[in-house]
Amino acid sequence: MTQQTADQAAQADPAQGEQNAQALLAGPQSIVTVGVDLFADALVAQSVDVQRVDWRPPLGGTEAEVQKVLFDARRAEANATAISRVLATGAVLVDVRPASEALEMSPGMFFHAGPPITWERASGPLRGALMGAMLFEGLADSPEEAEKLLAAGQLRDGTPITLDSCHHHRAVGPMAGVISPGMWVFEIADPATGRSTFCSLNEGLGKVLRYGAYGPEVVDRLKWMSAVLGPLLQQAVQRRAGSSAGPIDIRSITAQMLQMGDEGHNRNRAGTMMLIRELIPELLELGAPANDVADVVRFCNGNDHFYLNLVMPACKLALDAGRDVPGSSLVVAMARNGTDFGIQVSGTGDQWFTGPAQIPDGLFLGDYGREDANPDIGDSAITETAGIGGFSMAAAPAIVAFVGGTAQLALSTTHRMYDITLAEHPIMQIPILGFRGAPTGIDVVSVVRTGILPQINTGMAGKVAGTGQVGAGLVNPPAECFVDAIKALAATIA
């Protein structure tokens, strides 16, 4: 039973507590103990069958706020409204466009992952990605010049350099998440409402901009992506969207991924292949130069994470539908800029609740180790916010070879996430759990009451600008995000 339905059941049946008490008193078969183990241990010593219930006080001493929010008359309906909007959101691939046009960006504007941050507080990989974007845009001739201009906050001609969160512009970006005007972005739309969201094109693994690398191979790849990949994908996507088959259904592919061992955050193999198989016939019939088409196919084929940048905006599109419902404790965004971890909550508008981003536990590439890793970074935790990624690891046990852990950990993680989520997704199903729906829609109240933090799996960037990827692992948000969020939610109650 999800927290919401448990709460509803409790509200619907005020006699339930009394029944529970009766049940406890009635039988000598077993005793339920809550909290510290001293009493339970004493009973076990007397051969009494003990059911231990893991109870702890709410996170951060928020008893009063939790109580206030739990008794908020708006809460049950607000959460039902918010989550039902999330679950009802479709996602189709309607276009691929230059960011300058799609996101109305002009030279000197840069969007990045996570909550807003200044150059001064930016971590190494975010700085590296911004430097690379300056080079790609032709706004600097060397990494040193790029760094100097970014620190000074203006371009050579005096135009101000502005940094802002992707999330503030209907966009998301993995890892550093840097989007500059000359990059191309996917546009994903909800057919029912026409709302849309955007995400950059995935570059692959290793030395890539989003992991903070900015060398010539990074910049050259970005230039090819804007000159060849973006325009060819645009033609293929537009051709498909205008065909009788209609646009490629990203929600459907994402649901199928979960049947094929992907969880949509760090395993996107099946998703990438399903996307390519949809695009290939269009690409073949564009009349474009054969070697360009072959290059595009090879590039997408060679990068099993290509589909991540379609999952992410689809997740954002769904969660954006759940925003701004007064009284709702649904988390609508989790995002990290490499310094801060931030969340946004339906009932508290666009406010970010932040805490220090943590360093993941996981597996490292080559000779890299924990001391080389930057704290958690990227908008990709939007996948967990939407119930997939780390929340649906049970669907993708093979991911433990990439992020560490065991198959059992993958199963137990998903089971644990049901304790802090509002719904089981009707479309995103996990076969090994008997096609149970993915645990979807984090409830701030449940997180604070249980102390169970959302489980995110993630790539790890090197902490020194220019390094690139150093590993992948598992990480949680800092608890203070949820503590601050429940305080703010409580403050919205008259």
Binding site for a copy of itself (CB under 8 A): 259-262, 269-270, 273-274, 276-277, 280-281, 284-285, 290, 293-294, 297-298, 301, 397-398, 400-401, 406-408, 411, 431-435
Indicate the residue among 208 and 255 with the shorter CB distance to a copy of itself. Answer: 255
- Residues found in the chain: 494
Interatomic CA distance for residues 101 and 344, integer angstroms: 27
CB of 216 to a copy of itself, least distance (A): 26
Smallest separation, CB 295 to a copy of itself (Å) = 9
* Beta carbon nearer to a copy of itself, 17 or 431: 431
* Minimum gap (Å) between residue 272 Cβ and a copy of itself: 9
Q: CA 198 to CA 100: how far, in whole Å?
A: 12
Q: Which residue has the tokens 């191979």?
A: 217
- At residue 286, what is the residue type? L
**Cα 150 to chain centroid, rounded:** 27
Q: Which is nearer to a copy of itself, 256 or 492 (CB)?
A: 256
Amino acid at 313: P
Cβ closest to a copy of itself, residue 229 vs residue 270: 270
CB closer to a copy of itself, 262 vs 372 = 262
Q: Minimum distance between the CB of residue 47 and a copy of itself, rounded to whole angstroms?
A: 15
Comparing CB distances to a copy of itself, the nearer of 258 and 319 is 258
We find the least distance from the C-beta atom of residue 7 to a copy of itself, in angstroms, to be 29
Judged by CB, which is closer to a copy of itself: 148, or 277? Answer: 277
Residue nearer to a copy of itself on the CB measure, 193 or 301: 301
Could you tell me the smallest distance in angstroms from the CB atom of residue 335 to a copy of itself?
29
Q: Which is nearer to a copy of itself, 34 or 398 (CB)?
A: 398
Give the nearest distance from C-beta 315 to a copy of itself in angstroms: 21
The least CB distance from residue 483 to a copy of itself, in Å, is 36
Contact 307, 256 (CB under 8 A): no
By beta-carbon proximity to a copy of itself, the closer residue of 178 and 228 is 228
* Residue 108 falls in which region: left (phi positive, over 0), alpha (psi -120 to 50) or beta: left
Query: Whole-number minimum distance, CB 262 to a copy of itself, in Å?
Result: 8
Nearer to a copy of itself, 55 or 435 (CB): 435
User: In the complex, what is the shortest distance from the CB of residue 274 to a copy of itself, in angstroms, rounded to a whole number?
Assistant: 7
Question: What string of H, E and C letters represents the secondary structure of the chain?
Answer: CCHHHHHHHHHHCCCHHHHHHHHHHHCCCEEEEECCCHHHHHHHHCCCEEEEECCCCCHHHCHHHHHHHHCCCCHHHHHHHHHHHHHHCCCEEEEEEEHHHHCCCCCCEEEECCCCCCCCCCCHHHHHHHHHHHHHCCCCCCHHHHHHHHHHCECCCCCECEEEEHHHHCEECCCCCCECCCCEEEEEECCCCCCEEEEECCCCCCCCHHHCCCCHHHHHHHHHHHHHHHHHHHHHHHHHHCCCCCCEEHHHHHHHHCCCCCCCCCCCHHHHHHHHHHHHHHHHCCCCCHHHHHHHHHHHHCCCCCCHHHHHHHHHHHHHCCCCCCCCCEEEEEEEECCEEEEEEHHHCCCCEEEECCCCEEEECCCCCHHHECCCEEHHHHHHHCCCHHHHHHHCHHHHHHHCCCHHHHHHHHHHHHHHEEEEEEEEEEHHHCCEEEEEEEEHHHHHHHCCCCCEEEEEEECCCCCCEEEEEEECCCHHHHHHHHHHHHHCCC
Q: Find the shortest distance in angstroms from Cβ 187 to a copy of itself.
A: 24
